[in-house]
Amino acid sequence: MTALMTTNLGATPLLGRGKVRDLYAVNGDLLLVATDRISAFDYVLGSGIPDKGKILTQISLFWFDLLKDLVPNHLITADVREFPAALRVYAGQLEGRSMLVKRAAMFPVECVARGYLAGSGWKEYRTAGSVCGIRLPAGLQDGSRLPEPIFTPATKAEGGTHDENISFSAVEKQLGAAQSAELRDLTLAIYSRAAAHAKTCGLILADTKFEFGKTAEGVILADEVLTPDSSRFWDGNTWKPGGAQPSFDKQFVRDYLEEIRWNKQAPAPALPDVVVERTRAKYLEAFRRLTGRDIGA
């Protein structure tokens, strides 16, 4: 079993490589290819997780389908046989892990919904008693459930730097009141539907990030959706507010990096086989629990 760390599609114009995905231009459309790279503490690690890109792509596809009556999305096809002929020769790299999508004019806002306090939300609450300017009741803990889900937008930071939480009025200044309200309402509606589904699988969807774009047909849901890379999933059985919750997918990785006392600076270390194996099993478990089927990867 090997991990696909980087793709090479010959003359296909490469638009960029994110921490996890490689992005290509295909005629007027985009090709998103999820590799097996894994990041922790904002660094891509020296080892990949075999099939992670396939599992995450299949999770996104599952959600696009589950949400399609709520919001249109950017997917054209994830079936390599329907890709332009020039791409089909790369099927070995693309199968299961790529999506041909409509290119949209992306809104410059990360649309985050939170149903629970964690990460930057918890940090801001601890010092300000609010998140993105939304006042919250006193006495909440790290991991607490919020009285109701909230929209906590963030700026889209360039190249690996940290996103910054912003207030809804800052979004309104940039996009106007009507457009901002539309993105907020969509974000919360999708979160509710997804959190309800996750609950039936014994999972808590603590928070998640969406990216929307605009095409001639209107606003569409783009990027990846509701994957462990864009969301915090917690195991409903072990959830216990009062400290950082175990990460569903990356806990073995984080524990290992703490254990070797990595200084969280480049170069990021590689992972021992046992950590890779256990982490792979968690991604497969996430897929199986969310979709009720096996991936066959």
Ligand X SMILES: Nc1ncnc2c1ncn2[C@@H]1O[C@H](COP(=O)(O)OP(=O)(O)OP(=O)(O)O)[C@@H](O)[C@H]1O
Other residues' Cβ atoms within 10 Å of the Cβ of residue 4: 21
Residue closer to ligand X, measured from CB, 47 or 73: 73
Nearest approach in angstroms of CB 239 to ligand X is: 26
Residue closer to ligand X, measured from CB, 146 or 166: 166
Nearest approach in angstroms of CB 37 to ligand X is: 9
Nearest approach in angstroms of CB 112 to ligand X is: 13
Residue ranges of the alpha helices (H) in 129-272?
168-175, 177-200, 251-259
Instruction: Tell me if 194 sits within 8 A of 208, measured CB to CB.
Output: yes
Residue closer to ligand X, measured from CB, 53 or 143: 53
H/E stretch holding 80 reads none
Burial string for 182-220 (b: 16+ CB within 10 Å, else e) reads ebbebbbebbbbbbebbeebebbbbbbbbbbbeeeeebb
Q: Which residues bind ligand X (CB under 6 A)?
A: 18-21, 23, 30, 74, 101-104, 106, 160, 211, 213, 222-223
Residue closer to ligand X, measured from CB, 142 or 229: 229
Instruction: Tell me if 32 sits within 8 A of 75, measured CB to CB.
Output: no
Nearest approach in angstroms of CB 43 to ligand X is: 11
Closest CB to ligand X belongs to which residue? Answer: 18
Residue closer to ligand X, measured from CB, 115 or 213: 213
Nearest approach in angstroms of CB 99 to ligand X is: 9
- The span from the CA of 254 to the CA of 270, in Å, is 12
